[in-house]
């Protein structure tokens, strides 16, 4: 990408989109385009087409999505599949219609089968049943991958798809009702620390393994691949390392400085037993993550404390709310 290329970051107010904007700005890209959900509803096909026609976009980072943890996916599956299908369909089709030179679509590691062999290779996609707790979201993301690949084959577009592992960092969703596990742990233990609570409940047994990637590392990988990868196959983005939820909880406890007990509730769902990505393809292209989990947690918690006032988060409640 030329530094003066017209680049649209869809979802620039969310955790991923804002990280991509920061990375692009640091690298000297000066012609960035973005809109809030109030200015452009990506679920509205007509509005999206008018936007692309008017703005003459050359490159697209499609980071807009409705996202959430186990509870949100369980309670709102219709919203997750509808909104994500609408967002990605409208943006991908408009990118083709108005001659975008390249588009990067962000999927998720949840696209892989629940009991697939570990680590998860790109070719495992659609080789078995999905995890039921986030099936609607995963199916929407799989449809986005297929749409990019199909447009490449039929229309000769250059649309690439990245599958990031579990993410964390500034502008994450820290609402314990709808967030992913890591920000939920930070929020719970921070609140418990302030209230001097004797114990914090952790959902599930703590036995599942999860891999975590700082969002600034993901943004770096996105820009790297936008400049260096043109294949039709999906690419995993992760660290290649994982840990149990139990060990993660105790690491968060240490970073936050909470002195109470952790109580695991086996009555609550665990989700997929393990989700470790095979990142060999990305590593062979020349990219490696640069932020350790401990360092990333410390910087994320520092950001959280700075952006919290008496427990009220000033960042967007979710990537979706400012991503449409």
Other beta carbons within 10 angstroms of residue 266's beta carbon come to: 11
pLDDT band at residue 59 under the 50/70/90 scheme = very high
How many other C-beta atoms are found inside a 10 Å radius of the C-beta of residue 12? 22
Confidence label for 308 from pLDDT (cuts 50, 70 and 90):
low
Q: For the domain that residue 63 is a member of, what is the CATH number?
A: 3.40.50.720
For residue 9, the 8-state DSSP code is: E
Distance CA 91, CA 40 (A): 11
Residue 262 lies in a domain: yes
Cis peptide before 98 (omega within 30 of 0): no
Please report whether residue 291 resides in a domain.
yes
* Residues with active-site annotation: 137
Q: CB atoms < 10 A from the CB of 306, how many?
A: 10
Residue 45 lies in a domain: yes
Query: What does each C-alpha distance from 128 to 66, 113, 115, 123, 187 come to in angstroms?
Result: 24, 5, 8, 12, 34
* Whether the predicted pLDDT of 322 surpasses 50: no
The residue length of the chain stands at 324
- On the question of pLDDT at 275 being above 90, the answer is no
pLDDT in tens, 209-244: 999 999 999 999 999 999 999 999 999 999 999 999
Confidence of residue 261 (pLDDT cuts 50, 70, 90): very high
Q: What is the pLDDT of residues 165-183, one digit of tens each?
A: 999 999 888 887 777 889 9
pLDDT digits (tens, 9 = 90+) for 37-52: 999 999 999 999 999 9
Q: What share of the chain in percent tops pLDDT 90?
A: 82
pLDDT in tens, 81-125: 999 999 999 999 999 999 999 999 999 998 999 889 999 999 999
Query: Is residue 25 situated within a structural domain?
Result: yes
Number of domains in the chain: 1
Does 130 fall in a domain? yes
pLDDT at 319 over 50: no
* Residue numbers of the domain that contains 136: 7-313
Question: What pLDDT shows up at residue 176?
Answer: 75
Does residue 199 fall inside a structural domain?
A: yes
**Burial class of residue 196 (count of CB atoms within 10 Å of its CB; 0-12, 13-18, 19+):** exposed
Asked if residue 323 is part of any domain, the answer here is no
Neighbours of 216 (CB within 10 A): 21
Portion of the chain with pLDDT greater than 70, in percent: 94
Binding annotation for substrate = 188, 203, 210, 270
- Look up the pTM and report it: 0.91
Mean pLDDT value across residues 236-257: 97
Q: Which residues are annotated as a binding site for NADP(+)?
A: 11-17, 106-109, 141, 164-167, 180
Return the structure tokens found at 143. 């449809």
Q: Which residues make Cβ contacts (< 8 Å) with residue 114, sequence separation at least 6?
A: 128, 129, 130, 131, 132, 272, 273
The single residue listed with the structure tokens 């690419």 is 235
Look at residue 175 in the predicted model and tell me its pLDDT.
Answer: 83
| Residue 280 falls inside a structural domain | yes
Instruction: Tell me the pLDDT of the chain averaged across its residues.
Output: 92
Residue 267, classed as helix, strand or coil, is: coil
Weakest-pLDDT range from 39-48, 56-65, 126-135, 216-225: 126-135
Q: What pLDDT was estimated at residue 15?
A: 93
CA–CA distances in Å: residue 102 to residues 5, 127, 225: 11, 28, 11
């Amino acid at each position: 990408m030329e530094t003066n290329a017209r680049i649209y970051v869809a979802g620039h107010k969310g955790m991923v989109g804002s990280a991509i904007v920061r990375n692009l700005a640091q690298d000297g890209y000066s012609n960035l385009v973005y809109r809030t959900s109030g200015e452009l509803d990506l679920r509205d096909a007509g509005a999206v087409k008018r936007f692309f026609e008017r703005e003459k976009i050359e490159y697209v980072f499609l980071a807009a999505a409705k996202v959430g943890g186990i509870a949100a996916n369980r309670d709102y599956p219709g919203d997750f599949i509808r909104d994500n299908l609408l967002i990605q369909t409208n943006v991908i089709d408009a990118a083709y219609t108005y001659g975008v030179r390249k588009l990067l679509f962000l999927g998720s590691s949840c696209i892989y089968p629940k009991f697939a062999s570990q680590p998860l290779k790109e070719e495992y996609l659609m080789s078995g049943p999905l995890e039921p707790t986030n099936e609607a979201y995963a199916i929407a993301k799989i449809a986005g991958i297929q749409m990019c690949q199909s447009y490449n084959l039929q229309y000769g577009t250059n649309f690439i798809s990245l599958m990031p592992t579990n993410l964390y960092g500034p502008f994450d969703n820290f609402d314990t009702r709808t967030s992913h596990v890591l920000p939920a742990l930070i929020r719970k233990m921070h609140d418990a620390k302030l209230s001097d609570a004797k114990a914090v409940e952790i959902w599930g047994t703590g036995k599942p393994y999860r891999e975590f990637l700082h969002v600034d590392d993901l943004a770096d990988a996105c820009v790297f691949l936008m400049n260096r990868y043109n294949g039709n196959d999906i690419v995993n983005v992760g660290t290649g390392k994982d840990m149990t939820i139990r060990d993660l909880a105790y690491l968060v406890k240490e970073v936050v400085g909470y002195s109470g007990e952790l109580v695991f509730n086996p009555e609550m769902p665990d989700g997929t037993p393990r989700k470790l990505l095979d990142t060999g393809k990305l590593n062979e292209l020349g990219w490696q993550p640069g932020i350790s989990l401990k360092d990333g947690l410390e910087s994320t918690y520092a950001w959280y404390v700075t952006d919290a006032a008496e427990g009220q988060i000033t960042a967007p409640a979710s990537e979706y709310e400012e991503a449409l």
